[in-house]
Every structure is written in C-alpha cells, then in structure tokens.
C-alpha cells in the first residue's frame, strides 16, 4: 500500500490517515495507552469501567441511549474495548457521514458527563460474574493463566477488576483516570477507508482540537526471573478441561519480533499448520485448539489453548511441548516456511480491504512506538530464515519459561501425571 499520512494537530494530538478510495465506508478509531497494566490495586478495573462510562452521555447527548442512537442513525455502531495495555474506540460509517460521526466521537471521548454511575456498576458487575463459578471463584482459564505467568504484576490482573473495586469507583476517580490517560501523550486518532486526507484532518481538528497535553503513561516491567516450569490445576465442573500451555516470549520491542510472527504462522495459521495437524488430524485429541502470541512493550506470551476430554490433558501437553522442542531443534520445513511467507504477504495486502484492521495495525504501532506500513512489516517477516524461527522457538521452549494451567475435572492420577510431565520438561 502507499504511505499513510501522519500529522500532529495544533493541540498536539497525532492523526494518522490511510485513505482507501476503492472502499465505500470510512472508519475512525482512537487508540489509547490505558488498561490494567497501568493501574494500582486501588484503581484495578478503572480503565475498563471508564470505557463503559464514556458511553453514558455528553452535554449534547445526555444518556447512553442518545449516544447509541446518534451513531446508529449515521449507519454505524460505536465500538469500544479495553485490553491489558490499551483501549480502543471506533466507528465505521458511510463515507458521507464521517465528518458528523467524528464530531460525535470527539464529544463522547473528550466531554463525558459520567451520568448513571450506579447503573453502569451493575452492568460491569454482571460482566465480572461471568468469569466466576457459583462459589465466586475465578475459573476463566485466560485470567488464571495470566496470573500464573505474571504473579503479583498488573499484566497478570484481570481487565475488569473485581466487584468490590468497581463498587468503590466514583466520579472523582473517573475524572482523574480520564485526565491521566485520555490526552495527546497517550492517544492517536486513525482514519482509514473511504476518506480524503484533508477531510479527515479537518474533522479531527474540529472534534479533538482542545485535548489536554498530559504525560505518557508509564508501566513497571514484570519480573523476568522465573526459576522453573509452573503448573496449576483449578477444579471446575464441565464436560471438558480447559488447558493452557504458555511460554513467556520476547516482547514487541525485541529484535526477534519478526521471527515470533513467522513462528506463529508455522504453528497455527490455519488447519494445515503444525498444531491442528498434529493434535487433531493425526491423533484426534481435540476439536478446539489454537495458539496466539500476545506481545507487550517489555514482555510477551506464546499461549496454546485447548479444550479436551479430561484424561487427555497430559497427552496434549506432551505433544505441544514436543512440537516446540522439535521446532527449536530443526526449524520449519522449506514448504512450511514458503507457505508462511505467502500468507504473511497476502494478509498484509488484505489490510487495504479492511479499514478496521488497517486502523488497528497503524494505531497499535503508534502506541508501541513503531508505526510502519504493511509493506514494511511483510518485508521484515518474509526475510526471516528458518534458522531464526528455530532459534526463537528454542529460546521460548525452556523450562524457566513454561506455565501450564488446567481448569476442569482431572482425577488425582491424571493431575499427578500432568504435574510430573511439566516438572520433567527439559530435565527440570
């Protein structure tokens, strides 16, 4: 794709514009440096709660219904999500509505009234309860896995917080958190799709012309001194055991980032890649398997997620560990590497057809301090050699990086076997 435009408004806010004249819809998104990793125990869950409260009204749109109706009347939906280390707000509308949609967008982000706090607390409490069992215990495998990998660190905390913390939040806390994170030092506005550069910059200046300056949000790096493999079992009734086999991995800032990207394409980029072929096609051990790389500025996680019959948890873990060891020793085959390169190229090309995905690519790049074109990213990835993939696989698949979690109904013998398997990995 051709180069995108980055321009700083007089307010100091950076704006990225990536026009797609062949498209019929326009997209605007705000990426924010916010999330649970920037919180304290006292503010845990406040980033997520603040995201909800921004929907609750502005001086011009006093209620949540008014906000939603305004965006829906322009042909779009206001989307928002909070993650561990960032938040995103976005809307996609017909191209002729982008100016008015951006004005509404700016109103919601910069002029919240924080109406109906107690009503929204009840909604968020319901969201929190979805991850707990009938006794109030945390049973969400993703939340439990992150707590295992990052014990005592905000990267291991839930995004939503707990009921007690949410009940303690008030308007003063919301306004303080909003001022700390929703400022030009921690936000970037991205336009993509059917929009011209001039139109986008004019709309941005009108909607976000008075954003405060602020200071970049800072976070503490996690402790990187895991001594050996970790295993946890949480009993929870269900027809399957949720298994997480996770390795601490290089960060987004690492010079191994491109090798990690290509390792993930070899491991799990379709049903013909190693993970699915080995566990499902060859052995029929599971129906639902996946792998993902979650990268942060100062850390990363390679996470295998599997739902399986309880007694197969040990065998599946053994196969995943063996697969990683093999990749570390031998790297991908020439055919695997060539397929991964082609799919990387095609996926980057496809961003020009998906304004939401392109905005995410550019907005997250800005937050990470590494804004690049899709062409530059794919050039970096396809240059990765088989030996580099083997090297990063060997780096990751070490005993002092392994964290295994099972949530389900293992009998004592199966639990002991799985625990022993994890402890024995790599001779640990």
Summarised one tens digit per residue, pLDDT across range 174-213 is 999 999 999 999 999 999 999 999 999 999 999 999 999 9
pLDDT at 2 over 80: no
Q: Is the dihedral of CA 35, 37, 38, 41 positive or negative?
A: positive
**Rounded mean pLDDT of 92-107?**
96
Q: What is the pLDDT of residue 428?
A: 52
Domain 230-427, CATH class in plain words: alpha beta
**Rounded mean pLDDT of 222-242?**
93
Instruction: Write the pLDDT tens digit of every residue in 16-45.
Output: 999 998 999 999 999 999 999 999 999 999
| Assigned architecture for domain 5-207 | 2-Layer Sandwich (3.30)
Q: Distance of alpha carbon 24 from its chain centroid, rounded?
A: 28
Pairing relation of β-strands 241-248 and 87-94?
Answer: unpaired
pLDDT at 137 over 80: yes
Give, as one character, the DSSP assignment of residue 210: T
**Rounded mean pLDDT of 267-285?**
95
Mapping DSSP onto H, E and C, the string for 348-410 reads: HHHHHHCHHHHHHHHHHHHHCCCCCCHHHHHHHHHCCCHHHHHHHHHHHCCHHHEEEEEEECC
Instruction: Write the pLDDT tens digit of every residue in 330-342.
Output: 999 999 999 999 9
pLDDT at 216 over 70: yes
Pairing relation of β-strands 79-82 and 87-94?
Answer: antiparallel
In angstroms, rounded to a whole number, what is the distance separating the alpha carbons of residues 139 and 356?
Answer: 32
All CATH 3.30.830.10 domain ranges of the chain, comma separated, are 5-207, 230-427
**Rounded mean pLDDT of 106-135?**
95
Q: What is the pLDDT of residue 1?
A: 52
Q: What is the mean pLDDT of the chain?
A: 95
Q: What is the pLDDT of residue 224?
A: 82
Q: Residue 252: which H helix or E strand, with range?
A: none
Q: What is the pLDDT of residue 68?
A: 95
pLDDT tier, 66 (very low <50, low <70, confident <90, very high otherwise): very high
**Rounded mean pLDDT of 288-317?**
96
CA angle 74, 75, 81 (to 5 degrees): 100
66-70, 222-226, 350-354 — which is least confidently predicted?
Answer: 222-226
Q: Is the dihedral of CA 128, 55, 18, 20 positive or negative?
A: positive
Distance (Å) of CA 62 to CA 54, 69, 77, 112, 211: 11, 12, 18, 9, 21
Q: What is the pLDDT of residue 6?
A: 95
Phi-psi region of 413 (alpha: psi -120 to 50; beta: other; left: phi over 0): alpha
pLDDT tier, 370 (very low <50, low <70, confident <90, very high otherwise): confident
Q: What pTM value is reported for the model?
A: 0.95
403, exposed or middle or buried, with CB in 10 Å at 0-12, 13-18, 19+?
buried
């Amino acid at each position: 794709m051709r180069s995108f435009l980055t321009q700083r408004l007089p307010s100091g806010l950076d704006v990225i514009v990536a026009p797609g004249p062949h498209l019929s819809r326009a997209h605007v998104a705000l990426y924010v440096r916010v999330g649970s990793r920037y919180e304290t125990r006292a503010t845990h869950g406040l980033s997520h709660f603040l995201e909800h409260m921004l929907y609750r009204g502005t001086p011009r749109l006093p209620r949540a219904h008014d906000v939603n109706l305004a965006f829906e009347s322009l042909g779009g939906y206001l989307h928002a999500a909070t993650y561990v280390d960032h938040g995103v707000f976005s809307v996609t509308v017909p191209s002729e509505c982008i100016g008015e949609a951006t004005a509404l967008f700016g109103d919601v982000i910069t002029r919240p009234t924080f109406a109906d706090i107690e009503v929204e607390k009840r909604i968020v409490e319901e969201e929190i309860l979805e991850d707990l069992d009938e006794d109030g215990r945390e049973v969400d495998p993703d939340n439990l896995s992150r707590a295992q990998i990052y014990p005592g660190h905000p990267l291991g905390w839930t995004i939503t917080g707990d009921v007690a913390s949410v009940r303690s939040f008030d308007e003063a806390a919301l306004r303080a958190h909003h001022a700390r994170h929703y400022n030009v030092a921690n936000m970037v506005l991205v336009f993509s799709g059917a929009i011209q550069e001039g139109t986008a910059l004019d709309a941005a200046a009108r909607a976000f012309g008075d954003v405060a300056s602020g200071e970049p949000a800072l976070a503490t790096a996690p402790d990187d001194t895991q001594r050996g493999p970790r295993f946890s079992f949480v009993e929870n009734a269900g027809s399957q055991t949720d298994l997480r086999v996770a390795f601490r991995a290089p960060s987004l800032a690492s010079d191994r980032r491109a090798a990690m990207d290509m390792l993930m394409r070899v491991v799990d980029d379709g049903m013909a890649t190693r993970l699915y072929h080995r566990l499902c096609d060859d052995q029929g051990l599971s129906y639902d398997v996946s792998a993902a790389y979650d990268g942060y500025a100062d850390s990363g996680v390679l996470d295998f997620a599997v739902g399986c019959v309880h007694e197969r948890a040990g065998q599946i873990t053994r196969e995943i560990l063996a697969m990683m060891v093999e990749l570390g020793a031998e790297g991908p085959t020439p055919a695997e590497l060539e397929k991964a390169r082609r799919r990387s190229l095609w996926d980057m090309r496809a961003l020009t057809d998906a304004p939401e995905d392109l905005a995410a690519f550019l907005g997250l790049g800005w937050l990470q301090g590494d804004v690049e074109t899709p062409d530059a990213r794919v050039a970096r990835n396809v240059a990765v050699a088989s030996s580099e993939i083997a090297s990063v696989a060997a780096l990751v698949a070490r005993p002092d990086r392994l964290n295994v979690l099972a949530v389900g109904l293992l009998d004592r013998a199966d639990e002991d076997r799985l625990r022993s398997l994890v402890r024995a990995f790599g001779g640990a």
